[in-house]
Amino acid sequence: MTIQKERIVIIGAGMAGGRIVEEILKRDDTRFDISIIGAEPCATYDRIQLSPVLAGEKTFEQIVTHSQDWYDGNGVKTHFGYWVQSIETAAKHVVLHDGQTIAYDKLILAMGSDPIRLPLPGSDLQGVVAFRDLIDVDAMTQAADRGGQAVVIGGGLLGLEAAYGLAKRGMKSTVIHLVDVLMERQLDEAAGRLLEKALLDRGVISVLNAQSEAIVGETHVEGLKLKDGRVIPASLLVMAVGIRPHVEPAKSSGLVVERGIVVDDQMRTSDPSIFAIGECAQHRGQCYGLVAPIWDMCRTLADVLTEKNIDNTYAGTQMATRLKVSGVDLYSAGQFSGGEGCEDIVFRDPGRGVYKRIVIKDDRLVGTVLFGEAADGGWYFDLMKKGEDIAPIRDTLIFGQAVTNALAGQDPSDAIAAWPDDTEVCGCNGVSKGQVVASICAGNDTLDKVRGHCKASASCGSCTGIVESLLKCTLGDSFKAQTGPKPVCKCTEHGHAHVRKAIIELELKTLPDVMQALKWTTPDGCASCRPALNYYLLCAWPREYKDDPRSRFVNERNHANIQKDGTYSVVPRMWGGLTSAKELRAIADVVDKFNLPMVKVTGGQRLDLFGVKKEDLPAVWADLNAAGMVSGHAYAKALRTVKTCVGSEWCRFGTQDSTGLGVKLEQATWGSYMPHKFKMAVSGCPRNCAEATIKDFGVVCVDSGYELHVGGNAGIHLRGTDLLTKVATEAEALEWGKAFVQLYREDAWYLERTAPWIERVGLQFVKDRLAEPEMRAALVARFLESQEVYQVDPWAEHAPKSEPAKVFSPLADLRDGAVQPEPAE
């Protein structure tokens, strides 16, 4: 007979629920028999990160913190997708909605909160959602895919993140806010105005001082009517006006409930066997809606339950806020509304959009608001929490840690290096300096790896700067900082995603327009951004934008591959790897005529002619054109080759006509410019002789049809493909191929191959976009439109027919016996 372990049952599998399990197991992983009940049908994820998911900057998989496997592996029983009907405190069991009962010795309530739904007329219309869980995010992204206009009620943190996410997904997005300052609980008016403008730059319109009266529409939302009579059209309406602690069924079971479930300093409710943590709890009169207090509560409760520190108490948490809107740097902590005895130090730089304000009381920092430059947020917060006397550093405090320490003769990283090991670095996840350094020493040499390993800076991100400093002083110069979305280049602060979106939304159709609208810091960009912008423009506006050769790399301008001696190599297209006696003869003649030193068979089943002089290029092309050959684009960020095996026409194993499909794929897609080079292959059977599973798009034929694979490449980092789908007919394989190419063209960043692109956006994103027949057809249609313009042979355009291609020859030749300069016109 085994001894019955003490049973802990947790209601709620959100951030608090997942965290308390982890904290208990960390202290004692054998003592308890743990069960967790969650209403959402999935395991635990990081709810704060729903905003990046909505904005398409992260995938759901990336924000899972405790997976089903994790619970299973730790022997935790899970009941996901179940509601708790009632808590029988006398019998000490909970009753689930299907009637089953689960007995407990200790019960932990981690039920979180519910979004507040305004009781407006029309709030039951379709298309009215909250922003709270994954189901809401799904509903919002689906609505965004249909386009139209989104209206978000509530200009707090959550509402703004929702509005930004929807704008980023292509909707016209408007925020309706009751008072005249956005995020008025965290921001003062000056910072609120800057935020309003920054959001406008990102496509979010703010309507302030606006009271909602009714949601209008027949069956589906059509607009929001304001008290002043204005009606704002909307195909999606998001209510983000706040949260309310979720207190049922605690309340009906007789626990003391005010706004939240009342707990003492050890998280105990009015029933000594029942505890409450997170947003459903009310501690010392306060209900919290942020993550840091949850972690503090979980640590206290785990210490108490496991008796590791039976006297631990929770004393409340000071909180900091950071807005998760890409490119908007905003931080707020403590009190900033001033008050008796408070003094302000304010720094403004309107030109750079920087505003900083710190609030001081009795030589202690009590609050801060930072906009535009928020890297010092963590430092201020630390000074605030420790209650340090700031009088000695007051004169430089507003300029931040680096300046303050430098003037005190201290290198900021030295200061951090000198911290004791038990100094807390990440308040969200309770990670000390010693743990971060140990994680770095264990080989986690980037911010992301440290985040993945010890969770430091993985939640709110406010300690990112400190973790980076620790990386820097532990690893030395080999560490390179990474923050926010990486700018396209040094000419701009904007990342690729922002630039692509702006080109479409602001209808920017020339390079100077883009640079003007997005405030490029250089007159005509640089060798990094110009090719990227040129590509983004030709992809967005195939008919209207005129390709700019001066913004292309030499190879794409000269339609051949430059070699280290300044000569070029030339690769004619061989459809699906097929050639003929006529083509081979023409190639041989070119080699003889231009005295080319080398011919090589490429890995993509074609021939590469080396050592062509620049001035000979047009003549070489003319000869190859005459034999029916066109440019192989072996030099371009474009469709390169389609490698094939011989397939069912000859091979005894072949299941389909792989060569024929390869030729068709190449004929459909050649000439299309892409973010990076793009290779395809078609194998006639699973033996995969054409190596289709290391291509950007690979087809493996099987008896029953065609397996479509994506995202493979050889290259520095070998990556095998992911299986996209399986289709039955050749026509479908072609359709999916074209749609995939177009999705990659429209979504990936310049110089990002399909492999890193898919790793970034997630395979599911690609599957979702392509699985829907209408979206797939729309992608194909846009691809075909682009092909009408771009599927032309650049060689034929430049080959000397009537007029000699001047730009391929020197302006003048001053060597002995050479031709004189061209005369004036």
Partner 1 sequence: MNANVTINWTDVGAAIEVAQQSARRVETVMGAIAVFRTVADEYYAVFDKCPHKGGPLSEGIVHGRAIACPLHNWSISLESGEALGADAGKGCTPTVPLRVEDGRILLGLNF
Summarize as ranges the residues that interact with partner 1 (CB under 8 A).
522-527, 530-531, 550-555, 557-558, 562, 564, 566, 806-807, 810-816, 818, 821-822, 824-825
Q: Which SS3 state, helix, strand or coil, does residue 187 take?
A: coil
Residue 124 C-beta-side C-alpha neighbours within 13 Å = 1
Distance between CA atoms of residues 670 and 666, nearest Å: 6
Instruction: Output the six-digit token pair for 475.
Output: 């690893």
Q: Of the two residues 774 and 822, which places its CB atom closer to partner 1 in the complex?
A: 822
Rounded to a whole number of angstroms, the minimum distance from the CB of residue 477 to partner 1 is 14
Q: Which SS3 state, helix, strand or coil, does residue 88 take?
A: strand
Distance between CA atoms of residues 478 and 476, nearest Å: 6
Name residue, tokens 């479509």. 708
Helices (H), 518-638: 529-540, 554-558, 581-593, 617-626
Determine contact, residues 801/682, Cβ cutoff 8 Å: no
Rounded to a whole number of angstroms, the minimum distance from the CB of residue 526 to partner 1 is 5
Rounded to a whole number of angstroms, the minimum distance from the CB of residue 524 to partner 1 is 4
User: Which H or E element spans position 259?
Assistant: none
Rounded to a whole number of angstroms, the minimum distance from the CB of residue 617 to partner 1 is 12
Rounded to a whole number of angstroms, the minimum distance from the CB of residue 548 to partner 1 is 8
Rounded to a whole number of angstroms, the minimum distance from the CB of residue 545 to partner 1 is 17
Q: Of the two residues 550 and 652, which places its CB atom closer to partner 1 in the complex?
A: 550
Q: What is the DSSP letter of 732?
A: H
Q: Of the two residues 415 and 562, which places its CB atom closer to partner 1 in the complex?
A: 562
Q: Of the two residues 390 and 515, which places its CB atom closer to partner 1 in the complex?
A: 515
Instruction: Output the six-digit token pair for 568.
Output: 């070029």
Rounded to a whole number of angstroms, the minimum distance from the CB of residue 508 to partner 1 is 18
Q: What is the DSSP letter of 281?
A: E
Instruction: Kindly report the number of other CB atoms within 10 A of residue 780's CB atom.
Output: 20
Rounded to a whole number of angstroms, the minimum distance from the CB of residue 618 to partner 1 is 16
Q: Is 188 exposed, middle or buried (CB count within 10 Å of its CB: 0-12, 13-18, 19+)?
A: buried
Instruction: Output the six-digit token pair for 116.
Output: 């507040």
Q: Of the two residues 480 and 687, which places its CB atom closer to partner 1 in the complex?
A: 480
**Residue (of 491, 512, 488, 486) closest to 499 by Cα position:** 488
Backbone angles phi, psi at 698, to 5 degrees: -130, 140
Distance between CA atoms of residues 446 and 470, nearest Å: 11
Instruction: Kindly report the number of other CB atoms within 10 A of residue 252's CB atom.
Output: 12
Instruction: Kindly report the number of other CB atoms within 10 A of residue 563's CB atom.
Output: 12
Q: Of the two residues 131 and 568, which places its CB atom closer to partner 1 in the complex?
A: 568
Distance between CA atoms of residues 162 and 325, nearest Å: 10
Rounded to a whole number of angstroms, the minimum distance from the CB of residue 380 to partner 1 is 34
Rounded to a whole number of angstroms, the minimum distance from the CB of residue 510 to partner 1 is 13
Q: Of the two residues 541 and 635, which places its CB atom closer to partner 1 in the complex?
A: 635
Determine contact, residues 242/287, Cβ cutoff 8 Å: no
Instruction: Output the six-digit token pair for 498.
Output: 């922002």
| Beta-carbon contacts of residue 230 (< 8 Å; ≥ 6 apart) | 210
Q: Of the two residues 408 and 554, which places its CB atom closer to partner 1 in the complex?
A: 554
Q: Of the two residues 521 and 764, which places its CB atom closer to partner 1 in the complex?
A: 521
Instruction: Kindly report the number of other CB atoms within 10 A of residue 226's CB atom.
Output: 17
Single-letter residue type at 197: K
| Beta-carbon contacts of residue 73 (< 8 Å; ≥ 6 apart) | none
Q: Of the two residues 532 and 739, which places its CB atom closer to partner 1 in the complex?
A: 532
Rounded to a whole number of angstroms, the minimum distance from the CB of residue 499 to partner 1 is 17
| Beta-carbon contacts of residue 782 (< 8 Å; ≥ 6 apart) | 742, 746
**Residue (of 364, 253, 384) closest to 320 by Cα position:** 384
Q: Of the two residues 522 and 704, which places its CB atom closer to partner 1 in the complex?
A: 522
What are residue 349's DSSP bridge partners? 354
Determine contact, residues 204/183, Cβ cutoff 8 Å: no
Rounded to a whole number of angstroms, the minimum distance from the CB of residue 676 to partner 1 is 16
Rounded to a whole number of angstroms, the minimum distance from the CB of residue 596 to partner 1 is 19
Single-letter residue type at 5: K
Determine contact, residues 13/36, Cβ cutoff 8 Å: yes
Burial string for 465-482 (b: 16+ CB within 10 Å, else e) reads bbbbbbbbbbeeeebeee
| Beta-carbon contacts of residue 824 (< 8 Å; ≥ 6 apart) | none
| Beta-carbon contacts of residue 156 (< 8 Å; ≥ 6 apart) | 183, 185, 240, 241, 242
**Residue (of 413, 536, 404, 516) closest to 465 by Cα position:** 413
Q: Of the two residues 309 and 522, which places its CB atom closer to partner 1 in the complex?
A: 522
User: Which H or E element spans position 165?
Assistant: helix 157-168
Q: Of the two residues 106 and 552, which places its CB atom closer to partner 1 in the complex?
A: 552
Q: Of the two residues 433 and 798, which places its CB atom closer to partner 1 in the complex?
A: 798
Q: Of the two residues 522 and 729, which places its CB atom closer to partner 1 in the complex?
A: 522
Plot region of 297 (φ>0 → left; ψ -120 to 50 → alpha; else → beta):
alpha
Q: Of the two residues 150 and 491, which places its CB atom closer to partner 1 in the complex?
A: 491
Name residue, tokens 């009215």. 128
Rounded to a whole number of angstroms, the minimum distance from the CB of residue 480 to partner 1 is 13
Rounded to a whole number of angstroms, the minimum distance from the CB of residue 194 to partner 1 is 30
Rounded to a whole number of angstroms, the minimum distance from the CB of residue 750 to partner 1 is 14
Rounded to a whole number of angstroms, the minimum distance from the CB of residue 550 to partner 1 is 4
Q: Of the two residues 362 and 813, which places its CB atom closer to partner 1 in the complex?
A: 813
Rounded to a whole number of angstroms, the minimum distance from the CB of residue 555 to partner 1 is 8
Distance between CA atoms of residues 682 and 647, nearest Å: 9
Q: Of the two residues 343 and 813, which places its CB atom closer to partner 1 in the complex?
A: 813
